[in-house]
Amino acid sequence: MQEKRAKWSGHLSFVLAAAASAIGLGNLWRFPYLAAQYGGGVFIVVYLVLSLTLGFTLLVTEISIGRKSRQSQITAFTMLGGRKWAWVGFFSTVVPFLILPYYSVIGGWVVKYFVHYFLATLGCASQIADPKVYFESFTSSGLSPVCYMVIFVVFTFSVIMLGVKNGIEKANAVLMPLLFFTAIALSIYILFLPGAMEGVKYYLVPNFSRCDNIGKVFLGAMGQMFFSLSLAMGIMVTYGSYMRKSSSIPRAAVRIAFADTFIAVLSGFMVIPVVHAFATTAGQDPETALKAGPGLLFMSLPEIFGTFGAVGNFLALAFFTLVFFAALTSAISMSEACVAAICDYLKWSRRKAAISFAVFVVFTGVVSALSIKALDFFDSLVNSLIMPLTAIGITVFAGWYYGVDKIVDEMESGGGVFRPKRTFAISLKYFAPLLVVAILVSEICRVLGIGGWNI
């Protein structure tokens, strides 16, 4: 039997839920290292401009499609555009379907580190002697990463089973303020550490010698923006389908983009000064140290925290709590998009859909947990191909087929006039598809090893 469609209690619940989805691992480690790689301030400025133009355009479009249709992504595109547009919905669903299993594996690693530092703060666990060995022996130990991944999945799906209002909304109301508080407190603490200002300079002052090609800076910022704002994954469509008519879509989108960018920029103030100071003392190049990818979170930072003695355990605990909340709320949003899509499309009950999907995530997650190669493969398949294709589908559907007027009507349906309509139309019809095609081409070149577009 189809259950009655859920609704957020109010405007703030929606903004909080969408921001909770947007703020995740992408903000905490990917943004700082991209900023370091692409000339500090140069990247930050490009990113800010892109998220307030292209990011805003795509956010309002996806939310409007969801609210208009009152459906999650698969059925939303079919309802508004007919069967020929169903592929856009399917593609958007494939993205979280593939991302969530390996995101849960990384979530499991975060739980493991959280537990370790929690015990270490209480004096019940010893210092990690060699973070590299610790990480590698943990991730390759077979059973342990699988167990931690299952714990992370259980956390995620307990919230999903409780529903939109009682689960997601309540979890965000607790986790998001804690996340903001921890992030602000930790950055202030780090900024007062000796030598932190050198890192801040490295982060903020535009340095053109560190970005040889401005095209690459744009592409890097754009790819980051898609991932960070949870675009082209059906999430904003699904969350939009629970939004009340009285909430203003443009106002919500500005707040979501702002909160997401704020945490991303703030993460730079936490991660860069710490890594910079450590690298300089150890005679290493800060850029190489910052480029360590996932290793930055699980190897470099633990190594650095280790040099702070007992305070280090406490700093690490605060940091991994922050990462855990960010990863959990993002995983919840991905699960919701998939579960809602299954319910709307197959007309299953929420319970049946949630349990079946959780089982799927655990089984596919095991593959990623046991093989880092599989994890990398899923990651690049989704980011390089499926996500850009979905984004092209959404912009062409909304800008050229369904129509800018209808999207704007939905935005204005709760009252008020959307003034920048002409700019929005140009952005949705021309600017957005062109930029997304550029991402797709550069990704294909990168995978095939053509040209110097390695991002």
Residues in contact with ligand PHE by CB under 6 A are: 21-22, 24-27, 96, 99, 227-228, 230, 233, 235, 330, 333-334
Compute the least distance from the CB of residue 257 to ligand PHE, in Å.
12
Q: Which is nearer to ligand PHE, 72 or 330 (CB)?
A: 330
Q: Say how far apart CA 373 and CA 58 lie, in whole Å.
A: 32
Give yes or no for a contact between 308 and 117, defined as CB atoms under 8 angstroms apart.
no
Cβ burial of 230 (10 Å; 0-12, 13-18, 19+) is: buried
- Shortest gap between Cβ of 260 and ligand PHE (angstroms)? 7
Q: Which is nearer to ligand PHE, 65 or 408 (CB)?
A: 65
By beta-carbon proximity to ligand PHE, the closer residue of 25 and 404 is: 25
As a whole number of angstroms, the distance between CA 384 and CA 371 comes to: 20
Which residue number, 334 or 408, has a Cβ lying nearer to ligand PHE?
Answer: 334
For residue 446, the surrounding DSSP H or E stretch is helix 432-448
**Within a 13 Å sphere around the CA of 438, how many CA atoms are in the beta-carbon half?**
16
Burial of 310 (0-12, 13-18, 19+ CB in 10 A): exposed
CA dist 349 to 5, 162, 337, Å?
12, 13, 15
Quote the least distance from Cβ 224 to ligand PHE, whole Å: 9
- Whichever of 20 and 76 has its CB closer to ligand PHE, that residue is 20
Phi, psi of 130 (to 5 degrees): -130, 100
CB 330 to ligand PHE: min, Å = 4
Nearest alpha-carbon partner for 67 in 7, 111, 152: 7
Q: Which lies closer to ligand PHE via its Cβ, residue 257 or residue 353?
A: 257
Cα dihedral value 337, 342, 347, 349, nearest 10: -80
Q: Which is nearer to ligand PHE, 153 or 279 (CB)?
A: 153
CB of 155 to ligand PHE, least distance (A): 15
Cβ closest to ligand PHE, residue 330 vs residue 427: 330
288-292's contacts with Cβ under 8 Å and 24+ in sequence apart are: 290/32, 290/33, 290/36, 290/37, 291/33, 291/36, 291/37, 292/33
Give me the least distance between CB of 307 and ligand PHE, in Å please.
28
Nearest approach in angstroms of CB 233 to ligand PHE is 5
| Spatial distance between the Cα atoms of 215 and 235, rounded to a whole number of angstroms | 29
Minimum distance of ligand PHE from residue 421's CB (angstroms): 28
